[in-house]
Amino acid sequence: MPLLRFIPEATKIDFVGLRYIAFAIDGLLLIVSIVAIAWHGFNLGIDFTGGVLMDVKAAQTVDIGPLREKVNTLGFGESQLQYFGGGECDKPANSCVQIRVQPKQVKAGGDQNAADQAVVQAIKDKLGKDFTVRSTSVVGPKVSQELFHDGVIATLLAICMIAIYVAVRFEWQYGIGAAFATGHDVLVTAGLFSVFHLDFGLTAVAALLTLAGYSINDTVVVFDRIRENRRKYKRMGLRDMINLSTNQMLTRTILTSVATSVSLIPLLLFGGPALFDFSAPILFGIIVGTFSSVYVAAMLLLYLPATPGSVEANSGSSEATA
């Protein structure tokens, strides 16, 4: 037996029988997420609030860690630093850095432009003569709000397109299950941003979209096994069908989730602040997505009208009362 096969292939867990306990846990997660988002909202990053953007170049390779600490001593609400290359920036490598800072908003009637220019000058003074400022720009709040709006629309469209794809590939009941499961994973993970006040910017939107794709992959695998078993065991009830299919896919699902998580843990521990707000939600979302593939997507089939020709439709019985 291979060493990686630490879970037996033929498990006999009654997933359907345990669904009410899972529903209670899931309901608690949803309530916490919804309340946190409604009450606290999101800790919007520079991408969605606006800020000052500066491209600077040094004559030598830049160590971005000490440079970040130097910029942070200026006391801005948020700062982001990253390398960029191309042209003169490759001579030497990592000699160009993009600095984004979030200045404090001025009071009503104040001069925001003057405040932004003061930020630019403060950064120039802090960097000293070792750096040359190549360009500066200011991202206004109006543009940032449009980015936030577009990010939300992109996430909702992704969920809808996923549901349509599953409905076409399988049946409409599966499409509804996939939409609820994917939306559930995105909502709960968005709640994580709100509860722990993680920076919510374009990186967060990328994390949510990545999670949506990962979640539907698990869901489709479970649905595909249910469809395969329906053809193989034509007289088996839906309750037993879900249990059989889920147990058959349990080892594969856990191994896939563990392998993905192992690749994310180094990013979480050693990636620094720039990657933490991406890797932590993805790692959390993998756990939630694995859970929802069974207890949201598959279990929802019990409460939807049976498909024509199935055992449940012919007998007129309802699995929802099981």
Query: What is the phi/psi pair of residue 141, to 5°?
Result: -65, -30
**Structure-block tokens of residue 106:** 């001025």
Q: What is the DSSP annotation of 249-294?
A: HHHHHHHHHHHHHHHHHHHHHHS-HHHHHHHHHHHHHHHHHHHHII
Question: 39-85, pLDDT tens digit by residue?
Answer: 988 887 777 777 788 888 888 888 888 888 888 887 776 777 777 77
Percentage of the chain modeled with pLDDT above 70: 85
Provide the angle, in degrees to the nearest 10, between the axes of the packed helices 19-39 and 273-292. 140
Highest mean pLDDT among 78-87, 187-196, 260-269: 187-196
Arithmetic mean of pLDDT, 136-153: 75
Fold classified for 51-139: Alpha-Beta Plaits (3.30.70)
Residue 296, pLDDT > 90, answer no
Residue 26, pLDDT > 80, answer yes
Distance CA 208, CA 280 (A): 11
* Range of lowest pLDDT (76-90, 198-212, 245-259, 305-319): 305-319
The whole-chain average pLDDT of the chain stands at: 79
CB atoms within 10 A of CB 229: 17
Answer yes or no: same fold for 19-43+144-321 and 51-139: no
Residue 32, pLDDT > 90, answer yes
Cα dihedral 58/59/64/68 (nearest 10)? -40
Residue 109, pLDDT > 70, answer no
Distance CA 49, CA 79 (A): 12
DSSP code of 80? E
Pairing of strands 43-44, 78-83: unpaired
- 43 contacts 200 by C-beta, under 8 angstroms: yes
CATH of domain 19-43+144-321: 1.20.1640.10
Arithmetic mean of pLDDT, 82-103: 77
pLDDT for 316 equals 40
Please state the domain extents for the chain.
19-43+144-321, 51-139
Q: Which long-range contacts (CB under 8 A, 24 or more apart) does 278-282 make?
A: 278/203, 278/204, 278/206, 278/207, 280/192, 280/198, 281/189, 281/192, 281/193, 281/198, 281/204, 281/207, 281/208, 281/211, 282/207, 282/210, 282/211, 282/214
Q: Which residues pair with 43 in a beta bridge?
A: 199
The pTM for the full model equals 0.75
**Structure-block tokens of residue 82:** 């990253």
Question: 201-229, pLDDT tens digit by residue?
Answer: 888 888 888 888 888 888 888 888 888 88
The residue whose two tokens read 């600490």 is 69
- 200 contacts 44 by C-beta, under 8 angstroms: yes
Percentage of the chain modeled with pLDDT above 90: 6
